[in-house]
Structure 1
Amino acid sequence: MRSFTSGFKSFSTHSTQSFFKKFYQDVVDVAPKEFKLEELKRPIGLAQPPSKATVYSRGNSFRDLFDREKTNKRSKELGLEFSKSGMYDIHIFRKTNGKLFTSPPSYWRSDKSLYFPHITGLSLKDGQVSLEDTLRGKVSVVRLFSSKVGDDLCKQYLQNDELKLNYLEPSASQSLQSKGIQTVDVNFVDSGIKYALMKLFIGRLRSAVPAYRHSHYLLADREQLPFNVRETLQINNVYTGFTIVVDPALKIRWMASGSATTDEFKTLWKCVKRIREESFH
């Protein structure tokens, strides 16, 4: 028994040392390269539709530690996460003013599109909810942000002074809803501790957000989506904001980051109109 325990400890120590050696090399290999602004061409999203039963993997199980392929994959994921620290996010935000990619000129086809993730959070009206329940059956413009700056950038896709359009006004919002279109705000709090504190002071947030928006405003913990899922969705930078068009089947059909030009504003709402026509006719 003693020899078995000694052998297991020796194996565990060797495995740990090998993992960290591989991890260090992966950090070096995936060190961020010079940032290049590119257009989103391929659909963004996840392969499986969101549901209350959805659970996103956060790493290897004990059994996976004995699987070299899975361990190497996890090491690369951790290396990428480590290399893209908060300082990296700040650097990229300052360099791009929050425009991490340019939006596609039109929406992605339904049969090629991928799914929006499963996100739960605190609705300002209905308490704890799953976001997919709010999105299902409607064309949704989802604003995803983790800061006041990100919130303000996202608003540019709903408000345009040049065109004299403001879809955040009560009358405009109600008009959209009568057509099966809605705007949804997701305050994606960037840490579990901050999320817990914000829940304690939820009354202040309710006071700051117009009452007619409460049912479409969700306070959510960003950490419920693992790093690799956020990376797949290209929503990892906490300093900017993201605007995402989701169809009634919960598929991501168009996406933007940062601020909006007048042309981008027009493109978003043209996509929304066509997706609505496609979905309800």
Structure 2
Amino acid sequence: MTPRLPVRALSTPLSGLRYVSSASKSTLFAPKPGQPSTSTATSNPNAASSSKPHTSLPSSSRQGAEKVTRDVQAKGKGKSGPQPIPPLPRPLGVLQHPSSANKTWSQRKQELLDDDRHKAKRKALVKEATQGYFHDYNRAKGVGGGKLWIAPNVLIREDKALYFPDISGKSLLGNEVHTTDLLRGKVTLVSVIATRLSEEHEQSFTQPVLEDVAGHPEFNFVQINHQENKLKSLLVSFFISSLKRIVPEDRWGSYMISGGDWSSMDITSPLGIDNKLLGYIYLVDQNLKVRWAGCGTATPEESQALRRATAVLLRRISGGTEAKEDVSAKEGEVTV
């Protein structure tokens, strides 16, 4: 017996189409008279495109596009490669002559009302907040060990040099000392260290110089151990006896431990301390002016430059031959 279709299926036109054979589909969807056949249009897909004229860019436009592509590729290659370490961009130090005397109330009030100081403090806080916790560590693992600049080959001109800021701390002898009192009247090599890595940087600069000027009465070596973290500073103070075994006894009075946060406007920024893991070396003359500065691991050229600069300053302060500034240190060569 032949099965009957449901009444609903027979009454619905779309449902009825389900039972139309594939052979009759072409008859159902046949084009109307005067309308082009779909099969003809689809059988040759390139027919319509072949009828259109072929257009191309002018030669000048093609050359311009190729030049832009080459420039972009060149810039991309330059960014991916290691960047060279720049030279020291400016003289380091502060404009005003430092003093070890305590600040008066009027001076403190002036600092509190100084808008420039507040702006610099906010800028330093924003910079610190936007940088990650391991920012200094990542930079120290970069090219050149995170070295910030290449030290100059010659002394910084005296009329362009700035003053070394006053930094206070406790010496290994237990008394409070200021850098202004330690540096005055002598040629001084100052090092700022905070980590074991910075101690290695310090030795790469200072060891050859200390061998050259051993026993010179006009030479002084000041080491500043800065511990920003108060807890770490307290721990360092507990190991004074260990430091005394490492540091020679004649340097106990010039080895100072400075704790707490240093002012960005007064100390760290003027001295170029932008990475707290590195070691920093400054050559200061008898007038408290920074005449040479280096950071990170010393290169052979930097080591020789520091030895020459120290010898020149010692010769001048000792009343020897008054050699003029090196010709290559004239104004305009580098900004130092």
Q: Secondary structure at the match of 2:173?
A: coil
Is the aligned partner of 1:108 residue 2:151? no
The alignment of Structure 1 onto Structure 2 pairs a total of residues equal to: 232
> Cα distance, 1:122 vs. partner?
1.2
Q: Which residue number corresponds to residue 127 of structure 1? A: 175
Is the contact made by 1:122 and 1:220 (CA closer than 8 Å) also made in structure 2?
A: yes
Question: CA shift at 1:84, angstroms?
Answer: 4.1
Indicate whether 1:52 and 2:100 are aligned: yes
> Which residue, out of 164, 167, 184, partners 2:222?
184
Q: What amino acid sits opposite 1:227 in the alignment?
A: S
Question: Residues 44-79 of structure 1: CA distance to partner in whole angstroms, max 9, x if unpaired?
Answer: 11111221236698xx84x67xx7x87655433322
1:92 aligned residue (125, 135, 139) = 139
| Corresponding residue for residue 152 of structure 1 | 200
Alignment of 1:132-281 (within 5 A): 132-159=180-207, 165=208, 167=210, 174-175=214-215, 177-178=216-217, 180-221=218-259, 223=261, 225-228=262-265, 229-281=267-319
* Inter-CA distance 128–244: structure 2 relative to 1 (3 Å threshold): same
CA distance in 2 between counterparts of 1:199 and 1:110 reads: 37
Q: Which has the higher strand share?
A: 1
Residue 120 of structure 2 is aligned to residue 77 of structure 1:
no
CA distance in 1, matches of 2:84, 2:101: 37
Q: Distance in 1 between matches of 2:147 and 2:117?
A: 34
User: Are the aligned partners of 1:35 and 1:92 in contact in 2 as well (CA < 8 Å)?
Assistant: no
**CA deviation after TM superposition for structure 1 residue 198, in Å:** 2.0
Counterparts of 1:185 and 1:233, CA distance in 2:
15
1:16-27 equivalence runs, <5 A: none
The percentage of counterpart residues that share the same residue type is 28
Q: Which moved more, 1:239-248 or 1:228-237?
A: 228-237
In the aligned structure 2, how far is the partner of 1:103 from the partner of 1:50? 24
**Aligned AA for 1:154?**
E
After the TM superposition, which of the residue ranges 201-210 and 150-159 deviates more from structure 2?
A: 201-210
AA aligned opposite 1:203: S
Indicate if the aligned counterparts of 1:98 and 1:241 stay in contact, CA closer than 8 A: no
Q: Does 1:39 align with 2:113?
A: no
Q: In structure 2, what is the Cα distance between the partners aligned to 1:278 and 1:41?
A: 26
User: What residue ranges of structure 2 are gaps of 5+ in the alignment?
Assistant: 1-81, 320-336
Cα pair 2:100 2:181 within 8 Å, conserved: no
**Do the aligned partners of 1:54 and 1:118 also contact (CA within 8 Å) in 2?**
no
One-letter code of the match for 1:94?
Answer: K
* Distance in 2, Cα, partners of 1:70 & 1:113: 23
3-state SS of the aligned residue for 2:306?
Answer: helix
- Contact in 1 for aligned 2:209/2:306 (Cα 8 Å): no
- Give the match's secondary structure for 1:186: strand
Instruction: Name the stretch that deviates more: 131-140 or 70-79.
Output: 70-79
Aligned to 1:25: none
Indicate the structure whose relative CO is greater, using CA pairs within 8 Å and at least 6 residues apart. 1
Please tell me the root mean square deviation across aligned C-alpha atoms, in Å: 2.8
Bigger drift between 93-102 and 82-91 goes to 82-91
> C-alpha distance in 2, partners of 1:232/1:43?
9
Larger Rg: 2
User: Are the aligned partners of 1:114 and 1:251 in contact in 2 as well (CA < 8 Å)?
Assistant: yes
Shift of the alpha carbon at 1:42?
A: 2.1
Q: Determine the C-alpha separation between the residues in 1 that align with 2:220 and 2:226.
A: 19
If the length of structure 1 is used for normalisation, what is the TM-score? 0.72
Q: Where does structure 1 differ by over 6 angstroms across 4 or more consecutive aligned residues?
A: none
3-state DSSP of counterpart to 1:137? coil
TM-score using structure 2 length? 0.61
